[in-house]
């Protein structure tokens, strides 16, 4: 096992912060003891091999990070391929209703519960087909519909632009606050960026929903448009957030240069002039808490992501409680003393929102993919969060929601959701990979400290752990002249 807490400078809370390291406010913000724990990148030691098994920790850290992304790609693409096979068969719709009536009951069913489910699904299927049939008979005024749709898209674009500008404005403001020191501001200013992003994420989808009433699409198509718009909204938000993060990373790296310079001065001051120049003396033991630290930008990135996910979770739960639960209580109990029927008119019970929930899951996953390299325990935290979410939302749906008025099979759009997941996977691993490839790691924290680039660990392993002929073979194989034809072959 690696060295325990307190044994090295990177693994211990600095002397200056010790007093407040256990405060709940600091811990909730993932500072203090939470920051100097296995939760974040900065805690890990850069020792090449640990223990009597010679476990290559930095190498494993790197490979696990890359491996999880590769595995995720494989799983998503394989699921999409499997779904595509199943959906591709039913293109013939000439005997739609006849087949439904004569071939939908499965004669092999012998279990009463299965039979109940089957009856329900057959009924739903008939209702959906009936709705589609009625829709296709309606007379349409094409010009009016087209105009309304263009108008709706224009309004949506305005919303997206507005939200993008708002986030940019808030981020600039928070940078200004950071320059002036965060202590002089209250809770709102400190958490402004996260709160604004969460609030936008809560209110804009509702706005899109209202605008989409103009468009008059079939429910399945309307759902896809809604998902696409919310997707654009979140993507804009997330990328603005990442750009802000990049600015902070650059700031921290400048700070690091200053700290490195100060370290040499500090070390000299330890010996206190008892040495002549060019003499190496035995190192004086210093308590790790007193060693001056570089600002660890990787831990900062990890912290930002964990904070984002926590605030996202909180927003979801609070929206659930207020939007669904309180509303249901209001409608149920105040109905007796209200002028109009609350249950049928406004506000009535909230409908179960398929698109919102699916997107919430997909974006949660995207944020995990982004932050997992810098906060290794993030997936574990997320599993916990998903368990809690599942039970909470299950209860909320059963007690406060009504099903959507228009009946349609959302599961028919399976591949659409998978495609979104794939795009998110690509877009969220992009920033992480960019930082791995182009930014040098901090000099005093994390498993890659001291290296020029994080992927140098692979180079190092090849040179020192494998026999020399392997290294030669690899260097021949990685010749661009060989790789290019190979890539062309794969394409």
Task: Mark the segment that binds other proteins (CB under 8 A) among 94-102, 166-174, 196-204, 324-332.
Answer: 94-102
Residue given tokens 């974040």 in the structure block: 40
Q: How far apart are CA 20 and CA 42, in angstroms?
A: 19
Phi-psi region of 406 (alpha: psi -120 to 50; beta: other; left: phi over 0): beta
Note whether 85 binds other proteins by CB under 8 A.
no
Note whether 181 binds other proteins by CB under 8 A.
no
Residues in contact with other proteins, counted by CB under 8 A, come to a total of 32
Residues in CB range of 28: below 8 A, 6 or more apart: none
Note whether 470 binds other proteins by CB under 8 A.
no
Give which of 201, 185, 176, 172 is closest to 311, Cα–Cα.
Answer: 201
Among the listed residues 4, 52, 92, 405, the single contact to other proteins using CB under 8 A: 92
Among the listed residues 71, 97, 338, 476, the single contact to other proteins using CB under 8 A: 97
Decide: 124 and 399 in contact? Cβ < 8 Å: no
Compute the radius of gyration of the chain from its Cα atoms.
Answer: 29
Tell me the closest approach of the beta carbon of residue 407 to other proteins, in angstroms: 11
Tell me the closest approach of the beta carbon of residue 59 to other proteins, in angstroms: 51
Decide: 288 and 8 in contact? Cβ < 8 Å: yes
Tell me the closest approach of the beta carbon of residue 192 to other proteins, in angstroms: 52
Tell me the closest approach of the beta carbon of residue 137 to other proteins, in angstroms: 10
Task: Mark the segment that binds other proteins (CB under 8 A) among 5-13, 84-92, 363-371, 450-458.
Answer: 84-92
Tell me the closest approach of the beta carbon of residue 415 to other proteins, in angstroms: 20
Tell me the closest approach of the beta carbon of residue 125 to other proteins, in angstroms: 10
Minimum CB distance to other proteins smaller for 91 or for 183: 91
Minimum CB distance to other proteins smaller for 103 or for 274: 103
Tell me the closest approach of the beta carbon of residue 136 to other proteins, in angstroms: 11
Note whether 274 binds other proteins by CB under 8 A.
no
Tell me the closest approach of the beta carbon of residue 120 to other proteins, in angstroms: 8
Tell me the closest approach of the beta carbon of residue 112 to other proteins, in angstroms: 6
Q: How far apart are CA 125 and CA 316, in angstroms?
A: 32
Tell me the closest approach of the beta carbon of residue 459 to other proteins, in angstroms: 56
Note whether 463 binds other proteins by CB under 8 A.
no
Note whether 407 binds other proteins by CB under 8 A.
no
Among the listed residues 1, 24, 53, 94, the single contact to other proteins using CB under 8 A: 94
Minimum CB distance to other proteins smaller for 97 or for 169: 97
Note whether 405 binds other proteins by CB under 8 A.
no
- Find the binding residues for other proteins in span 109-168 (CB under 8 A): 109-112, 114-115, 119, 122-123, 126-127, 129-130, 133-134
Q: How far apart are CA 125 and CA 183, in angstroms?
A: 60
Interaction mask 229-248, other proteins, x per CB under 8 A: --------------------
Q: How far apart are CA 362 and CA 359, in angstroms?
A: 5
Note whether 88 binds other proteins by CB under 8 A.
no
Note whether 98 binds other proteins by CB under 8 A.
yes
Decide: 364 and 378 in contact? Cβ < 8 Å: no
Decide: 234 and 359 in contact? Cβ < 8 Å: yes
Minimum CB distance to other proteins smaller for 88 or for 186: 88
Note whether 452 binds other proteins by CB under 8 A.
no
Q: Give SS3 for 256.
A: helix
Minimum CB distance to other proteins smaller for 118 or for 307: 118
Note whether 338 binds other proteins by CB under 8 A.
no
**Three-state secondary structure along 55-78?**
ECHHHHHHHHHHHHHHHHHHHHHH
Task: Mark the segment that binds other proteins (CB under 8 A) among 108-116, 213-221, 224-232, 318-326.
Answer: 108-116
Phi and psi, residue 454, nearest 5°: -65, -30
Phi and psi, residue 389, nearest 5°: -60, -45
Helix (H) or strand (E) holding 227, with range, is helix 219-271
Provide the total of helices (H) and of strands (E) in the chain, helices listed first. Answer: 17, 0
User: 367, exposed or middle or buried, with CB in 10 Å at 0-12, 13-18, 19+?
Assistant: buried
Give which of 32, 4, 9 is closest to 287, Cα–Cα.
Answer: 9
Tell me the closest approach of the beta carbon of residue 94 to other proteins, in angstroms: 7
User: Angle, nearest 10°, between helix axes 297-319 and 378-400?
Assistant: 10
Tell me the closest approach of the beta carbon of residue 97 to other proteins, in angstroms: 4
Among the listed residues 88, 90, 186, 283, the single contact to other proteins using CB under 8 A: 90
Q: How far apart are CA 50 and CA 38, in angstroms?
A: 16
Give which of 483, 415, 59, 442 is closest to 220, Cα–Cα.
Answer: 415
Question: For binding to other proteins (CB under 8 A), which residues are involved?
Answer: 89-90, 92, 94-99, 101-112, 114-115, 119, 122-123, 126-127, 129-130, 133-134
């Amino acid at each position: 096992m690696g060295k325990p807490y307190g044994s090295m400078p990177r693994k211990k809370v600095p002397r200056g912060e010790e007093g407040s390291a256990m405060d709940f406010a600091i811990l909730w913000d993932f500072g203090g003891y939470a920051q100097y724990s296995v939760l974040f990148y900065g805690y890990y030691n850069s020792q090449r091999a640990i223990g009597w098994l010679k476990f290559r920790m930095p190498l494993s850290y790197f490979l696990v990070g890359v491996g999880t992304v590769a595995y995720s790609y494989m799983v998503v693409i394989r699921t999409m391929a499997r779904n595509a096979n199943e959906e591709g068969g039913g293109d013939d719709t000439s005997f739609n209703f006849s087949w439904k009536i004569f071939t939908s009951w499965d004669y092999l069913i012998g279990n009463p519960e299965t039979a109940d489910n089957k009856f329900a699904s057959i009924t739903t299927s008939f209702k959906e087909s009936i709705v589609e049939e009625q829709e296709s008979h309606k007379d349409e005024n094409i010009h009016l519909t087209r105009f309304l749709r263009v108008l709706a898209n224009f309004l949506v674009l305005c919303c997206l632009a507005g939200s993008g500008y708002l986030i940019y404005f808030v981020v600039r403001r928070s940078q200004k606050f950071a320059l002036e020191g965060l202590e002089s501001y209250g809770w709102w200013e400190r958490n402004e960026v996260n709160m604004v992003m969460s609030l936008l994420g809560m209110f804009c989808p509702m706005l899109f929903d209202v605008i989409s009433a103009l468009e008059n699409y079939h429910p399945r198509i309307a759902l896809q448009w809604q998902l696409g718009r919310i997707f654009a909204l979140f993507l804009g938000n997330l990328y603005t957030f990442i750009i802000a993060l990049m600015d902070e990373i650059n700031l921290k790296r400048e700070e690091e240069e200053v700290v490195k310079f100060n370290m040499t001065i500090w070390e000299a001051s330890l010996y206190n002039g008892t040495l002549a120049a060019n003499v190496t003396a035995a190192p004086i033991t210093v308590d790790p808490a007193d060693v001056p630290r570089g600002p660890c930008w990787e831990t900062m990135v990890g912290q930002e992501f964990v904070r984002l996910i926590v605030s996202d979770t909180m927003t979801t739960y609070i929206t659930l409680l207020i939007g669904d639960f309180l509303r249901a209580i209001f409608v149920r109990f105040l109905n007796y003393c209200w002028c109009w029927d609350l249950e049928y008119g406004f506000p009535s019970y909230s409908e179960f929102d398929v698109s919102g929930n699916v997107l919430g899951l997909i974006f949660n996953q995207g944020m995990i993919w982004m932050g997992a390299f810098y906060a290794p325990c993030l997936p574990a935290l997320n599993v916990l969060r998903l368990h809690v979410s599942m039970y909470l939302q299950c209860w909320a749906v059963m007690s406060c929601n009504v099903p959507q008025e228009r009946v349609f099979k959302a599961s028919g759009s399976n591949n659409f959701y998978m495609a979104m997941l794939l795009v998110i996977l690509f877009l969220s691993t992009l920033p992480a990979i960019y930082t791995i490839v182009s930014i040098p790691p901090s000099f005093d924290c994390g498993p890659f400290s001291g290296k020029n680039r994080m992927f140098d660990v692979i180079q190092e392993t090849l040179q020192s752990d494998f026999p020399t002929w392997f290294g030669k073979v690899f260097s021949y194989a990685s010749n661009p002249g060989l790789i290019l034809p190979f890539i062309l072959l794969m394409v």
